[in-house]
Amino acid sequence: MTIALGIQTPDGIVLCSDSQLTVPQYMKYSDSKIRIIENGEEWSVALTYSGDPERMNRIYESMRQSLLTDPKQETINADYVRNCFGESLADVRQSIIHSYENIDVMCAFSRKMTHEEELRSTNAGLYLFSGKNGVVTQPKNEFSILGAGDSSLTRYLENLLSSFGQSYMEYLTALVIGVYIVEQAKKYVDMCGGDLQVCVLRCGYKPLFRFNPEILNRIAELGTSLEMILQKTIVYSLGVEIAAINYEKGETWEGSLIKAINGSRNNLWKLELGT
């Protein structure tokens, strides 16, 4: 069972997944569940999936061929990427015979914005497409989850964390939230495991993909801090004290909560992601 998720914010798109693949009744092994197609800082496409890895490889190769070698397409835009994605997904799904060959895919696309778009501060250069059950859609909210995302655990976390709101979330915050959800799924969802995989797409930048393991550990620690902030919010709003929730005597719950939030935000900006 895979978990693959995408979170879109005004300044970037974050894709996260586990890396465990399972051959039923035979073995488990790890492999990349995120694929990258890029053209320097001009545009980038990232794919993640739930389902049969062989079919994912075919979708990736088909899109790579269309995006990088099609002489008829001089400008890569969102409509062209969506069409390539839909055609590649439909072509591969036609060959599905058994249920274990099923494939759901998420496609993120970023392109360098024009000067006019930058002046308007729009997120016109960022697009997230979900190809679930063979139907390509553009999610209306910032979260899109495949595989184990259908579990009650990740649906609960998605609803809880979406209260942050896309308008107020930056890609660094989305990165912490995405890592947190995947790590929780790895703990509690059967056949979801292996190393964490992360990709960040931003307009006018090369994809962030090969993260240092130390950085990923720090991001996971920030996810634990986020969990503590959510606990504090619930506990303080009820007007009770719990031993596991530490705060200074004489400090108001509002002040303690704001301090925790500010501390997490400062730690976010200390991350050196190679940007």
Task: Provide the residue ranges of all domains of the chain, joining segments of one domain with +.
Answer: 3-210, 221-269
Tokens coding 11: 């300044």
Q: How many CA atoms lie within 13 A of 55 on its CB side?
A: 23
Annotation: CATH topology of 3-210: Glutamine Phosphoribosylpyrophosphate, subunit 1, domain 1 (3.60.20)
Nearest residue to 128 (alpha-carbon basis) of 62, 57, 78: 78
Q: Could you tell me the pTM of the whole model?
A: 0.82
> What does the pLDDT read at residue 194?
87
> What does the pLDDT read at residue 97?
78
> 60 to each of 14, 154, 188, 255, 267, how far by Cα in Å?
19, 26, 30, 49, 36
Give the Cα separation of 18 and 225 in Å (integer).
Answer: 21
| pLDDT tens by residue, the chain, 275 residues | 678 989 998 889 999 998 888 766 566 777 889 999 998 888 999 999 998 899 999 999 999 999 988 656 667 899 999 999 999 999 999 888 776 678 999 999 999 877 676 656 656 799 999 999 889 999 877 778 888 655 666 666 666 655 555 455 788 888 888 888 888 888 888 778 888 899 999 998 999 987 888 888 888 888 877 777 766 666 666 665 555 556 566 666 566 666 776 777 677 767 666 54
> What does the pLDDT read at residue 252?
66
Give the Cα separation of 59 and 87 in Å (integer).
Answer: 9
Cβ neighbours around 250 below 10 Å, total: 6
Q: Which residue has the tokens 């494939």?
A: 103
Q: Crossing angle, helix 152-161 and helix 171-188, to 10 degrees?
A: 160
Cβ atoms 177, 8 nearer than 8 A? no
Tell me the DSSP string of 95-144. T--SGGG-EEEEEEEEEPPPHHHHHHT--TTEEEEEEETTEEE--SSSEE
